[in-house]
Amino acid sequence: MDSEVWELENAEVDIFPHLWLSYNDLSPPLRQCFSYCAIFPKDHLMEKRKLIELWMAHGYIKETTKKDMETIGEEYFQNLASRSFFQDINIDDNFYDISYTCKMHDIVHDFAQYIRRDECFSMEVSSSVESSMESVSNEARYSRIVLAGKGSLPGYFYDAKKLRGLIAQFEGGFVVTAVLSSFFNELTCLRSLDLSNRHIEEIPPTISQLIHLRQLDLSSNDHLKSLPETLCELYNLQTLNVYGCRNLAKLPDGVRKLVNLRHLHIVGKWAKSPWSIKAIASSCANPSLPLCYILHCVILESWFQPENIILISFGILVGRAKILERQPLILVDMSVRHDLDAETYS
């Protein structure tokens, strides 16, 4: 990203004025939502649901008395798409899930990087190719790093004490647990942390030091078998994504302490799944939980008990459910999907 800054500065005169017109017409929150996408690499496939969760985590979306953050985030996404800041919007509809994805045109992505040029940086480190960066600004807020081979993360990376968002990609050779411990000890201002699609086997208990964390993505870590109880000390956590962690046995016992949790993404293993709604309900008896997405739960034993949950809105509830019961006083919004093959619905 840094090597391209000089090109972006030269391009501002020739190209960016056309984008500035559209950008300046955006509200301040929409400008933040758009420019945040600079953290992703070019041609990256962005998922709408995850984008909204990240915008929420970084405080770009404020709830009102009439609309929740998810609804406002949806409106923000549609607004940016209508102005062509997002393109190639597709619907991925399969047996397990339905998701909306999009991309950014290369020039639009360059513009987003230019907007965040003092706040966002990328770094690639391996045993053969060390990072070309010599320092990291204390003003850096967002970073994407790729760690490969047997290289070492330069010490100056941790100069970014005010880092708010981190996407970490681990390739073969890295001692992941040690690196994670350093993240948790040094980057205590993080609001979002993406550790998805890696071979992580263990989450260090020092994750409890990320007291400001609102979004944690651990999805598709097949070797992850458990989560530390200290994770339940992340009281600001809004999103916990363990979707695709197929060997994860259960949620931590203290997950009910996550009083601000809004989105829980999980995966089950058909009839042998430990992720029945009943099991989750016993762990997440959280009266403040306004919204919960439960994914890949194909065996639904019961809904959350109404005495524990005031409102549950299942915007996406997918799978060929065999038993589907609705308890009184529970609002279930099935408007997104209507193809559940339920034998019992009462």
pLDDT above 70: residue 211: yes
pLDDT above 50: residue 316: no
Structure tokens at 201: 């086997």
Q: Is the pLDDT higher at 344 or at 249?
A: 249
Predicted confidence band at 138 (pLDDT cuts at 50, 70, 90)? confident
What lies within 8 Å, CB to CB, of 63 at 6+ separation is 69, 72
Q: Express each pLDDT in 10-29 by its tens digit.
A: 555 566 778 888 999 999 99
Residue 97, pLDDT score: 56
Q: What percent of the chain has pLDDT over 90?
A: 40
What lies within 8 Å, CB to CB, of 82 at 6+ separation is none
- Residue 148 region, left (φ>0) first, then alpha (ψ -120 to 50), else beta? beta
Mean pLDDT, residues 227-233 taken together: 95
Residue 194, pLDDT score: 96
Predicted confidence band at 342 (pLDDT cuts at 50, 70, 90)? very low
Q: Which of 119-123, 132-136, 290-294 comes out lowest in average pLDDT? A: 290-294
Q: Per CATH, is 3-103 categorized as 1.10.10?
A: yes
pLDDT above 70: residue 214: yes
Q: Which of 86-95, 140-149, 200-209, 308-317 comes out lowest in average pLDDT? A: 308-317
Predicted confidence band at 143 (pLDDT cuts at 50, 70, 90)? very high
Report in angstroms the alpha-carbon separations of 277 from 245, 254, 343. Answer: 17, 17, 17
Within this chain, domains 3-103 and 118-300+313-318 share the same CATH topology: no
Q: Which CATH class is domain 118-300+313-318?
A: alpha beta
pLDDT above 60: residue 8: no
For tokens 């992505």, name the residue: 109
Quickly count: other Cβ atoms within 10 Å of residue 67's Cβ. Answer: 14
H or E segment to which residue 50 belongs: helix 48-57
Residue 28, pLDDT score: 97
Mean pLDDT, residues 62-85 taken together: 93
Distance of CA 113 to the CA centre of its chain: 20
pLDDT above 50: residue 328: no
Cite the beta strand spans of the chain per DSSP E: 46-47, 87-93, 98-103, 120-125, 142-147, 165-170, 192-194, 215-217, 239-241, 263-265
Domain ranges, ordered by start, for the chain:
3-103, 118-300+313-318
Max mean pLDDT range (7-16, 151-160, 234-243, 296-305): 234-243
* Torsion sign across C-alpha atoms 146, 152, 156, 157: positive
Residue 291, pLDDT score: 45
Residue 227, pLDDT score: 93
Q: What is the mean pLDDT of the chain?
A: 75
Residue 10, pLDDT score: 54
Mean pLDDT, residues 67-79 taken together: 93
Q: Which of helix, strand or coil describes residue 309?
A: coil
